[in-house]
Amino acid sequence: MLYQKCVFLDRDGVLNRERGDYTYRLDDFEVLPRVPEALALLKNNGYLLIVVTNQGGIAKGLFTKTDVLACHQKLQLSCNNLIDGLYYAPSHPDYSESLSRKPDSLMLERAMAKYTIDPAKSWMVGDSLRDLDAAEKAGVKAILVGDKYEAGTYPMQVNDLWEAAQVIVGKRG
């Protein structure tokens, strides 16, 4: 059986602008600079691209699954349909428990089973420590992006997805 390598991607703060609140309206959904180029670089180097995102606003009743899917469609269109899979956890600990929600790793594990992914050859790119916790539980390497945490918070920390992609394909780091 041929195992594939993958880059798991958090959504808000990695692929689209983190607003500090839930992003579910298409007008508020803004793909970050260099994201399409980063995804193309990863894809050209043989990586599957899978989004894993917590969307607790669904459980809170703030927005619907349809809103999330519309944002994911906008993301795909903005990135030349390079994303192979989009997983989201609609639960929130105040309303419903779920092993899918990061820091748990069920979204990653489901994708690994479906796409025959080798965790040893795979990465998680996230902007939150809970993303990195999920990566560790699933056995994949992780990179922290953004400026939410002080420099040195995590061993592998860069500014954005473009820099993370450079590290993953071995052009930096």
The CATH number of residue 86's host domain is: 3.40.50.1000
User: Dihedral of CA 169/9/71/159: which sign?
Assistant: negative
Residue 98 domain-assigned (yes or no):
yes
pLDDT digits (tens, 9 = 90+) for 58-100: 999 999 999 999 999 999 999 999 999 999 999 998 888 888 9
pLDDT of the residue at 86: 98
Residue 150 domain-assigned (yes or no):
yes
pLDDT digits (tens, 9 = 90+) for 126-173: 999 999 999 999 999 999 999 999 999 999 999 999 999 999 999 865
pLDDT of the residue at 135: 98
* Residue-number span of the structural domain to which 113 is assigned: 6-168
Contact (CB, 8 A) for 15 and 51: yes
Residue 104 domain-assigned (yes or no):
yes
DSSP 63: S
Active-site amino acid positions: 10, 12
Residue 1 domain-assigned (yes or no):
no
pLDDT of the residue at 82: 98
Residue 140 domain-assigned (yes or no):
yes
| Residue 65 half-sphere exposure toward CB, CA atoms < 13 A | 6
C-alpha–C-alpha distance, residues 65 and 32, integer Å: 22
pLDDT digits (tens, 9 = 90+) for 18-54: 988 899 999 999 999 999 999 999 999 999 999 999 9
Provide the number of structural domains found in the chain. Answer: 1
Residue 173 domain-assigned (yes or no):
no
Task: List the structure tokens of 113.
Answer: 């089973």
pLDDT digits (tens, 9 = 90+) for 3-20: 999 999 999 999 999 988
Listed residue (91, 128, 127, 125) closest to 108, CA to CA: 125
Residue 89 domain-assigned (yes or no):
yes
Residue 23 domain-assigned (yes or no):
yes
